[in-house]
Amino acid sequence: MPRWGMVIDVKRCIACWGCTIACKEEHFLPPGVFFNRVLIGETGKFPTSSKLIYPVLCNHCEDAACVEACPTGATYVREDGIVAIDDTKCVGCRACMVACPYQQRTYYDEKTKNREFFPGQGKTEMETIGEKLYPFKLGTVIKCNFCSERVDEGMKKGLTPGKDEDATPACVNICPVGARVFGDLDDPNSEINRLIMEKKGKQLRKEFGTEPAVYYID
């Protein structure tokens, strides 16, 4: 069984927000909800200051704090390492949101559901279609799932996640500069492990002790 992970090369990232938009389109996310975000800051002083760009998403931690905090077992780690949410078990207590050290979870309530991309004009046809094709359950927590639907369906067809687009997360496929790589962390010969080893990939805030499956090259 593979253990899926991702490498993000922040030197390559140009902050185009393509990953953010691709993710919203893939999951039909309502206004104000983002599973992929791009954090931008600066370090140093003019004229030698540097721009900092950090794309962030659920880190799909091996020892996830959200899993430990969930009182009903709704949040769990799949055999392939993807941290998932069973919305039939989620009671909306939001303990996982408090526990997540990366702030990558959103509570889906009536207010979130009723948001419109063009306020006061009603929902567009695409918004309405999205609610049917990718429905979220009210009163539950939602987050990035590494596009597990794409991964699972692709593997059933004999495709390889990280190599074949139909089995790879949307944010990886869309990146115009190849800043994101998806693959099997348990395969020592995988591209993702080669990058982590050769370019010294680092986990974000490793001191939290959650063993994230997302690595950064900076």
DSSP for 59-102 reads ---TT-HHHHH-SSS-EEE-TTS-EEE-TTT-----HHHHH-TT
The pTM for the full model equals 0.93
* pLDDT on residue 218: 83
The three-state secondary structure class of 217 is: strand
Token pair of 163, please?
């190599």
| Nearest Cα to Cα of residue 191 among 166, 161, 165, 171 | 161
Res. 47: pLDDT tops 90: no
- Model confidence at 217, in pLDDT bands (50, 70, 90)? very high
DSSP H or E run through 27: helix 18-27
* pLDDT on residue 46: 87
- Model confidence at 130, in pLDDT bands (50, 70, 90)? very high
Res. 68: pLDDT tops 90: yes
* pLDDT on residue 111: 95
Q: Rounded distance, CA 41 to CA 18, Å?
A: 18
Q: What total number of domains does the chain contain?
A: 1
- Model confidence at 109, in pLDDT bands (50, 70, 90)? very high
User: Rounded mean pLDDT of the chain?
Assistant: 96
List Cβ neighbours of 131 (8 Å cut-off, separation of 6 or more): 28
* pLDDT on residue 21: 97
**The domain spanning residue 143 has which CATH number?**
3.30.70.20
Convert the pLDDT of each residue in 159-189 to its tens digit: 999 999 999 999 999 999 999 999 999 999 9
pLDDT, average across residues 123-138: 94
List Cβ neighbours of 14 (8 Å cut-off, separation of 6 or more): 53, 176, 177, 179
Domain that holds residue 60: 4-216
pLDDT, average across residues 89-97: 97
Res. 19: pLDDT tops 90: yes
Convert the pLDDT of each residue in 185-213 to its tens digit: 999 999 999 999 999 999 999 999 999 99
Q: Rounded distance, CA 109 to CA 126, Å?
A: 20
pLDDT, average across residues 60-75: 97
